[in-house]
A and B are shown apart, each in its own frame.
Chain A
Amino acid sequence: MKERYKLLLIIVVFIASYYIPWDHVTMRKSGLEAFMMLQEYAREHVLTCLIPAFFIAGAISVFVSQAAVLKYFGSQAKKVLSYSVASISGTILAVCSCTVLPLFAGIYTRGAGIGPATAFLYSGPAINVLAITMTARILGWQLGLARAIGAILFAVITGLLMAFIFRKDEKDQGELYIPEGEEKGRTLTQDALYMLTMVLILIFAAFARPEEGTVGLWSRIFAVKWYITVSLLAVLALMLKWWFTKDERVMWVESTWDFMKKIVPLLAAGVLVAGFFLGRPGHSALIPEQYIQQLVGGNSLWANLFASVAGALMYFATLTEIPILQGLLGSGMGKGPALALLLAGPALSLPNMLVIGSVMGFKKTATFCGIIVVMSTIAGLIYGTFAG
């Protein structure tokens, strides 16, 4: 940050502290809402959902061989494979936006070309494990599922459209360096079982209490969920002891810690801001609910379009889109516009567009953003019609 921006920031904070009527009823209520929302997250989501998800993300970034995926992005790779790998590999490769852009630039200029590159660019931030689990947990599994499916479909469609529109595009000559896969002491089945155990731990630990009075499978699972979770943890401990070396375990914990350090402060800040401006569902805060209902309530074309354009321009730090959406939904945002925002939001932002623009030029960037905004709007309309 430049010195004069720091000065500017301090002045803004000073003026805000000086003039805002903090003891006004609405301000007090908003301040309270901010911390009530933070507490709700701390009590409901951190231990059972966020922390297991961090461990899974850490495991993926350490144990899944990135080199194995990269070969599908080379210029010689089969197109069908390139697209399918690009649309789902975000789960493995793109846990942080600082790895997405170099990969994108590599695939675009020297690898499989603009189609797979843009597919990857879109799917990367949209379908990582953390984002999908948190969406499903906090905003409901329907929206989580719609987000996952939407993101994968969009990635492929966007890629194909870009490849078609710019089919006369010239490519750079030259080879891409693909690092050698390292020798591992485990089979693929062992890796898969290990991941599966962690995902199951996440599912059971986060298993929601069924509604009072319901009988049957769900309530029975709920009654024994902690026994299942603990036995799964024991299985996981044995796997770690038998299949992994000490170095690997240390690396796993280190990269998990890395994710936590990076994401938790941003998420906490996001929750506070969302709580302050929007309040928890059922409670109003600074922004009156009728404004939100007017802008993004219901499921009109305008509401969906507004949500996807706003999402495309705004920058969301990892996962902060979730508390913000929770606040918006609680204040009367429609389900369709919510999905539109989720699909356009994390993949695009103004700063991000500038960087993409420097790699592939203004025309292609504008086309890319346009495709995503239009598709998000349509997906929002469709989802809103079904989900009500």
Chain B
Amino acid sequence: MEIKVLGPGCVRCRTMEKNVIDACAQLDVAADILHITDVKEFAKMGVMLTPAVIVDGKIISSGKVPTVDELKKTFSKMD
């Protein structure tokens, strides 16, 4: 699984990255987690509201910070 966290480096984005890492650790799944901070990249991926999470090329959340539990639910569905 490849997970991209998109955010220009604000507090909410860092919380998001931490939640994603926690969710993966708790589910015990292996994933490449990238934190993308370049605003131009966001637009290329079609994201307007940050923080956003992209899993294997699919945008699963944008403009809010999902909790660890919500992320776990989404991730386990994708496997």
A residues adjacent to B (C-beta < 8 A): 66-67, 70, 73, 96, 98-99, 101-103, 105-111, 172, 174-179, 258, 262, 355, 358-359
List B38-66 residues whose CB lies under 8 Å from chain A. 39-40, 42-50, 59, 61-63
- Please, which residues of chain A bring their CB within 8 A of the CB of B59? 177
Given contacts A101-B39, A179-B62, A355-B39, is CB(A107)–CB(B48) below 8 Å? yes
Whether A105 lies near B63 (C-beta < 8 A) is no
Given contacts A102-B49, A179-B62, A179-B63, is CB(A358)–CB(B8) below 8 Å? no
- Please, which residues of chain A bring their CB within 8 A of the CB of B12? 98
Q: Which secondary structure dominates where chain A touches chain B?
A: helix
Return A141 CB to nearest CB of chain B, in Å.
Answer: 33
- Bound form: Cα–Cα A220–B36 in Å: 57
Whether A358 lies near B40 (C-beta < 8 A) is yes
Closest chain B residue to A179 by CB distance?
B62
Which residue, of B6, B48, B62, has the highest number of chain A Cβ atoms within 10 A? B48
Whether B46 lies near A175 (C-beta < 8 A) is yes
Whether A102 lies near B48 (C-beta < 8 A) is yes
Whether B49 lies near A66 (C-beta < 8 A) is yes
- Bound form: Cα–Cα A174–B39 in Å: 16
Return B43 CB to nearest CB of chain A, in Å.
Answer: 4
Q: Which of B8, B43, B44, B48 contacts A98 (CB 8 A)?
A: B8
Which residue, of A101, A106, A108, A358, has the highest number of chain B Cβ atoms within 10 A? A106
B residues adjacent to A (C-beta < 8 A): 6-13, 39-40, 42-50, 59, 61-63
- Bound form: Cα–Cα A66–B39 in Å: 19
Q: Which of A70, A105, A179 contacts B39 (CB 8 A)?
A: A105
Closest chain A residue to B42 by CB distance?
A102
- Please, which residues of chain B bring their CB within 8 A of the CB of A258? 11
Return A252 CB to nearest CB of chain B, in Å.
Answer: 14
Closest chain A residue to B48 by CB distance?
A106
Q: Which of A70, A106, A262, A355 contacts B42 (CB 8 A)?
A: A106
- Bound form: Cα–Cα A359–B50 in Å: 17
- Bound form: Cα–Cα A174–B27 in Å: 34
- Please, which residues of chain B bring their CB within 8 A of the CB of A103? 48-49
Return B42 CB to nearest CB of chain A, in Å.
Answer: 5
Given contacts A105-B40, A359-B39, is CB(A176)–CB(B46) below 8 Å? yes
Whether A108 lies near B48 (C-beta < 8 A) is no
Whether B48 lies near A176 (C-beta < 8 A) is yes
- Please, which residues of chain B bring their CB within 8 A of the CB of A178? 48
Whether A96 lies near B10 (C-beta < 8 A) is yes
Q: Which of B9, B13, B42 contacts A105 (CB 8 A)?
A: B42
Given contacts A66-B63, A102-B8, is CB(A174)–CB(B46) below 8 Å? yes
Whether B62 lies near A177 (C-beta < 8 A) is yes
Given contacts A102-B8, A102-B39, is CB(A110)–CB(B46) below 8 Å? yes
Given contacts A98-B8, A98-B10, A102-B39, is CB(A109)–CB(B50) below 8 Å? no
Return A256 CB to nearest CB of chain B, in Å.
Answer: 15
- Please, which residues of chain B bring their CB within 8 A of the CB of A96? 10
Return B46 CB to nearest CB of chain A, in Å.
Answer: 4
Whether A73 lies near B48 (C-beta < 8 A) is yes
Q: Given contact pairs A67-B63, A101-B39, A110-B43, enumerate 7 new A-B contacts (beta carbons under 8 Å).
A: A70-B48, A101-B8, A102-B42, A106-B43, A108-B43, A177-B45, A177-B48
- Bound form: Cα–Cα A73–B49 in Å: 12
Q: What are 30 A-to-B residue pairs whose CB atoms are below 8 Å?
A: A66-B63, A67-B63, A70-B48, A70-B49, A73-B48, A98-B7, A98-B13, A99-B49, A102-B6, A102-B39, A102-B48, A105-B39, A106-B42, A107-B48, A109-B40, A111-B48, A172-B44, A174-B46, A175-B46, A176-B46, A177-B46, A177-B48, A177-B62, A178-B48, A179-B63, A355-B39, A358-B39, A358-B40, A359-B39, A359-B43
